[in-house]
């Protein structure tokens, strides 16, 4: 696996691959890699001759009081994991390499970025859209692979690619879960031993709500309210729990078929997100 830290080095390699008419798949990450990330690399391999992975903890998607300074950075372990799954190139830039001094340009996807996590974390998805757009310009992949766990993030990126005519095929990969059902996440490492026993209840609440939507005629707001109460009683501080249309993430109605349940809740000091997609 090649490791590069500058845009110039990266684009020199990409240019040679392009001249050889090779297809390139891209997996952007913030590091602290787990089996969910490695699944993305395996999926990327199915779609390309070369797989590029980036590790960059992006400061512009963290808000005031969030965990940017303490976000886990495990570069040496990550490199070993990527070598084991035969990634072809790791792009490991610094913040100074990624952002020019006094950079002004921001990529914004209004509407969808203002819902749910966007409402709780103002500016977060502007940071995500901007850095992903920059990475797409640098790597110029044919396809890019993202996990479905961050469903709203994926929806924002799909809309950005569509609206800006970026020639990248976006691939979503199912969430990888621990045996308990807890969605794998770099932030799970913040959970205490006791919190780790409670955290899987978030997924259980989503599964129960999915069953309620599919099998009952109860109004969606009532199902959402029951789920929020369940999470509160379990020890969470729920942010939202919503029955949405999977296409645009607006609130679903009884006439909608393709749905996603989106949830976010704090457990101790850790903010967890999860979702389930289904049709009714």
For the annotated catalytic residues, the residue numbers are: 37
Q: What's the CA gap between 223 and 103, in Å, rounded?
A: 45
Structure tokens at 268: 């101790």
Give the Å distances, CA to CA, from 44 to 30, 49, 79, 210: 17, 9, 17, 30
Q: What's the CA gap between 228 and 237, in Å, rounded?
A: 9
Contacts of 8 (CB under 8 A, 6+ apart): none
Contacts of 141 (CB under 8 A, 6+ apart): 24, 25, 26, 48, 52, 168
Tell me the three state secondary structure of residue 234: helix
């Amino acid at each position: 696996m090649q490791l590069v830290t500058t845009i110039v080095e990266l684009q020199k390699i990409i240019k040679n691959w392009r001249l050889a008419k090779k297809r390139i798949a891209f997996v952007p990450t913030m590091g602290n890699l787990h089996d969910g990330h490695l699944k993305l690399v395996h999926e990327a391999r199915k779609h390309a001759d070369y797989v590029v992975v980036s590790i960059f903890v992006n400061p512009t998607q963290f808000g005031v009081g969030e965990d940017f300074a303490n976000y886990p950075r495990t570069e040496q372990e990550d490199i070993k994991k990527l070598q084991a799954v035969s990634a072809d190139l790791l792009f490991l830039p610094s913040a100074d390499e990624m952002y020019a001094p006094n950079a002004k340009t921001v990529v914004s996807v209004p509407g969808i970025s203002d819902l749910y996590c966007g409402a709780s974390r103002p500016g977060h998805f502007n940071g995500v859209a901007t850095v992903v757009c920059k990475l797409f310009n640098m790597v110029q992949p044919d396809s890019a692979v993202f996990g479905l766990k961050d469903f709203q993030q994926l929806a924002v990126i799909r809309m950005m690619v569509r609206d800006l005519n970026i020639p990248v095929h976006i691939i979503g990969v199912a969430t990888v879960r621990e045996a308990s059902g807890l969605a794998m996440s770099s932030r799970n490492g913040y959970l205490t031993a006791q919190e780790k026993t409670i955290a899987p209840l978030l997924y259980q609440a989503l599964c129960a709500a999915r069953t309620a939507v599919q099998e009952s005629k109860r109004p969606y707001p009532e199902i959402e309210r029951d789920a929020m109460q369940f999470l509160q009683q379990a020890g969470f501080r729920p942010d939202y729990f919503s029955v949405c249309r999977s296409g645009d993430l607006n609130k679903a109605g009884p006439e909608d078929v393709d749905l996603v349940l989106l949830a976010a809740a704090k457990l101790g000091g850790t903010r967890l997100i999860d979702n389930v997609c289904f049709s009714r």
